[in-house]
Structure 1
Amino acid sequence: MRYATNFTVIMCHMWWVRNITSKINRILMRMEVAAEKNVKVIEEGSAKIKTAGNVFYNPVQEFNRDLSVLVLQTFSKTFERSNLSILEALSATGLRSIRYAKEIEAVEKIVANDISIKAVQDIKVNIDENGVSDIVQANQSDATMFMYENRRKQFDAIDLDPYGCPSIFLDGAVQAVKDGGLLLVTATDMAVLAGNSPETCYAKYGSVSLKTRSCHEMALRILLQSIESHANRYGRYIQPLLSISADFYVRVFVRVFSGAQKCKYTTSKLSMVYHCTGCDSTNLQPLGILKKNDKKNNHQVKFALPTGPFTASVCLNCKHPLHMGGPIWSAPLHDKEFIRNLLDGASDKLGTFERIWGVLNVIGEELEDSPLYYTLEKLAGTLHCETPPLLAIRSAIMNAGYRVSATHMHKTSIKTDAPSNVVWDIMRCWCKDHPVSEKRQFEGSPAKNILSVEPNIKADFTILPDANPASRKNGYLRFQMNPQTHWGPGTRATAMVGEEKINKSKRNQGKRKREESVESTK
């Protein structure tokens, strides 16, 4: 009887185990089917990868990756860096590293690192399927710790493309890159860098951001200042090769060198910014200046402090108060010779070639020694006047004896070495021919204060051929496109702009003007 009872119990256990096992197998099969359905195959450049789950891929960033491939190719050729070793510190899918391996001739070794175990598993699969296991090595580690561990071994290039602020990675990066090596750094926290939260910007980047129309250039210059600050702590300094503002981020490509003596030049490359809250004019005050020792005639440089302040307590143009921000990088943003080399090496095999070609051509035309810029709509908006043609304003500045250029950061940008009083004198002259309504000039307003002063020059708006830059004449794709699907970093890219929202935006473009036109015909 006892044996029969034990047999019954055993059979019951076996039935229970079989039942549970069957349920688990069914769940696993459903999970496998779901996973297969969720897998996405992505082809970009020479790479073909698979992504699943929460591993993030942003198609809008193809321009970023294409440009990075071109920069690394040109870097290796220009500075004769054969057998490149590259660290992609925040790799996610491994797409960027795989493209580097397949599209850059000089590359010898790439470490595709990510802190996520799942991401690294996917990277390994993608490496094998793309046949680059001899070049690309997947690594699971905290990016900062991995860079600290490689301070002696070092890499020829380190790519940092984080979700948000890159500042926590900069200390390790400036130590883990070889002398003369390349740092590629992206920052996507544009609200912080563009002046929405100056106190947060100071906490993250060591600089106070300002809300100006030239906020995208401010963002680039704040990021460069931050990288330079981290490098200086270890007797190193940077040389920007290319700095771009695109879509929802800024990205810089800088070489890092060692030399404590050269670090002394840093103060002359940084400036505080005085920004007018009324007319948006800016004035820069350098942290340090260089003086040549002409008496000894031996080209020695003396480091000195500037005398100041460089501006009055209120704006001399509109009498409104000033905000102070910075410090920012006030030295050149780009290396013009390197830009020419990029253009020489650019290939139409890159998916975003047309945009790269246009942006690089505009950058090649930018003034190097004139930080920050005006925008046409802000100049006209401040005075409430009819907006002048862009070429007319550019010509007037050139006719007054100053240089002017656009910048790739804004469609109506005006970058010039003309003092702000000359720019406003030109606008005063424009308003004489295109009068502003007295109703718009209320007492104490920037418009009233500016237009109540007679111009010191007579502006000549005769259009000059050179006022129209070659990139504009040739119709290059020079500026960022309107927001599209995946516009934004990380999860924001999927939630920020959907297809329906884009279609709605397109339908509503010009709606107000169309309605006004209909009303006027009634």
Structure 2
Amino acid sequence: MKLQREGAVEFEAEASGPGSGPGRAGGVFYNPAMAFARDLHIALWRKLAPAGTTLDGLAASGVRGLRLMAEAGAAVEFCDCSPLAVAAIRANLSRNSLAAEVHEGDLLEVLEGREFGALDIDPFGTPARFLPAAVRAVAERGVLGVAATDTAVLCGAQPRACERRYGALPLAGVAAKEIGLRVLLGAIAREAAATGRAVTPLLCYVEGHHLRAWVRLVPGKSPPLRWLSREMALYDEPARGRAGPLWAGALGEPAAFPDAAELPGDAASPRRRRLERLLTTLHAELPGPPGLWDMNEMARAVGRGETPARERIVVALRARGWFASSSIFHPLGIRTDAPSDEQAAAVQSL
């Protein structure tokens, strides 16, 4: 293994290749491409300061938990089923003059009978099998973070597999990643309902190959899950061509979004600027309706050979009195409550 550095910590691990998964990395897995996601986790923990202990549930090298301890002052425990990973985490804690409990074993067994103030699960692939135990192990008003990298399943390429894993059908198109995230949230909400609790999404996003949701588990009932059509209309019942059941509410709480002072890293660094752009765009689209419209399809519908710039279409829709924003979920996506005729009029005005 090689010595790596990320944020304020040093640790030993084998870096993966340039792709999205472990690739040919041997030993203890570490994906440098996910440093952006860990930066956002640090910022969110600085903002929320979750009570109690955070469990880094599938820790590998432990870099996520190490950074939460060193950069956000969090109390963290670690879990991994690999003896090699557990040994590396203990060595990496020592290297950074940190102390924490490290559990060796299957996460589902470690969670049995335990309760944590916050829990993060970031598997390679689907988190589906961990969701029931993870929800049960989070304390009242605690925070659960869930990542998924089975995007082919959640985003429309494998609908039957999505139905088996998440109990819902996805939808292809520009809204595919957003809908995949809403399907994941719907699965978490159903597990929370089984414990008599509701979920409050705090910050949910898609970046690269992974979908991530942070939710707070609170007393009460979540809003009913719904179905979304290809025309971005919500329904209370399933039908052919509709995605769902899925979470139809907001994908975050503005009050939970980190401020600039809470973001890690140099203000001029490319990663920090990317993080600021993502949060700014996501914040702007939060009040909008579920689903996205394809800007190229908007242009084709009115016979435009060249699609105007997305921001120009957004400004034109707002000028006509409609909600409109760009989106983090697809570079061609526009979030708006404008009906098709108003979309056409906005594009024709440009």
Q: Give the 3 Å change call, closer, same or farther, for CA 48–234 of structure 1 in structure 2.
A: same
Distance 1:70 1:332 in 2: 20
What's the CA shift for 1:367? 4.3
TM-score scaled by length of structure 1: 0.61
Letter in 2 for 1:371: P
Aligned to 1:362: 281
Tell whether 2:107 aligns with 1:146: no
Q: Secondary structure at the match of 2:101?
A: strand
Q: 1:326 is aligned with what amino acid? A: G
Q: Which residue of 1 aligns with 2:144?
A: 183
| Aligned residue type for 1:285 | Y
Task: Evaluate the alpha carbon distance shift between residue 197 and residue 62 of structure 1 in structure 2; reply closer, same or farther with a 3 A threshold.
Answer: same
How far the C-alpha of 1:282 sits from its partner, in A, is: 2.4
Distance change in 2, residues 1:102/1:176 (3 Å): same
Structure-1 separation of matches of 2:209 and 2:280: 21
Is residue 284 of structure 1 aligned with residue 248 of structure 2?
no
Kindly report which structure 2 residues correspond to 1:67-216, keeping only aligned pairs within 5 A, or say none.
Answer: 67-76=40-49, 81=50, 84-105=52-73, 107-108=74-75, 110-133=76-99, 136-150=100-114, 154-216=115-177
Offset at 1:381? 4.9
Does residue 1:232 correspond to 2:163, yes or no? no
Larger radius of gyration: 1
Distance 1:344 1:57 in 2: 27
SS at match of 1:74: helix
Q: Specify the alignment match of 1:266 in structure 2.
A: 223
Give the count of matched residue pairs. Answer: 336
Q: Distance in 2 between matches of 1:253 and 1:324?
A: 25
Higher relative contact order (CA 8 A, sep 6+): 2
**C-alpha separation in 2, matches of 1:329 and 1:169:** 19
How far residue 137 of structure 1 moved from its aligned partner, in angstroms, is 1.6
Match of 1:353 in 2: 272
Q: In 2, are the aligned partners of 1:222 and 1:327 still within 8 Å (CA)?
A: yes
- Give CA deviations for 1:396-447 in whole Å, capped at 9, x if unaligned: 32233212111122223211111234324555xx3xxxxxxxxxxxxxxxxx
Deviation at residue 240 of structure 1 after TM alignment: 0.5
SS at 1:70's partner residue? helix
The letter for the 2-side match of 1:393 is I
Corresponding residue for residue 406 of structure 1: 326
Q: How big is the alpha-carbon RMSD for the aligned residues of Structure 1 and Structure 2?
A: 2.1
CA contact (8 A) 1:243 1:253 kept: yes
* 2:224 counterpart of 1:338: no
Looking at structure 2, the residues matched to 91 and 180 of structure 1 have their Cα atoms a distance apart, in angstroms, of: 23
Classify the secondary structure of the residue corresponding to 1:410.
coil
Q: Could you tell me whether the CA contact under 8 Å between 2:12 and 2:88 is conserved in 1?
A: yes
Q: What is the alpha-carbon distance in structure 1 between the residues aligned to residue 40 and residue 286 of structure 2?
A: 22
Unaligned 5+ runs, structure 2: 15-25
Residue 266 of structure 1, CA deviation: 2.5
Extract unaligned runs of 5+ from structure 1: 1-38, 276-280, 288-308, 314-321, 431-459, 462-522
The residue identity in structure 1 corresponding to 2:132 is: D
Equivalent residue letter for 2:64 = R
Alignment deviations for residues 22-75 of structure 1 (CA, whole Å, 9 cap, x no partner): xxxxxxxxxxxxxxxxx2110001111112543211110000111111111111
Identity value in percent: 29
- Structure 1 distance, partners of 2:12, 2:304, is 54
- Alpha-carbon distance in 2 for matches of 1:186, 1:203: 18
Cα distance in 2, alignment partners of residues 62 and 395 from structure 1: 33
SS of 1:192's partner is: helix
Alpha-carbon deviation of 1:146? 1.2
Deviation at 1:384, TM superposition (A): 6.3
Structure 2 CA distance for aligned equivalents of residues 242 and 132 of structure 1: 28
Distance in 2 separating the partners of 1:343 and 1:221: 27
In the alignment, the residues of structure 2 paired with residue 42 and residue 223 of structure 1 have an alpha-carbon distance, to the nearest angstrom, of: 32
Letter in 1 for 2:42: V
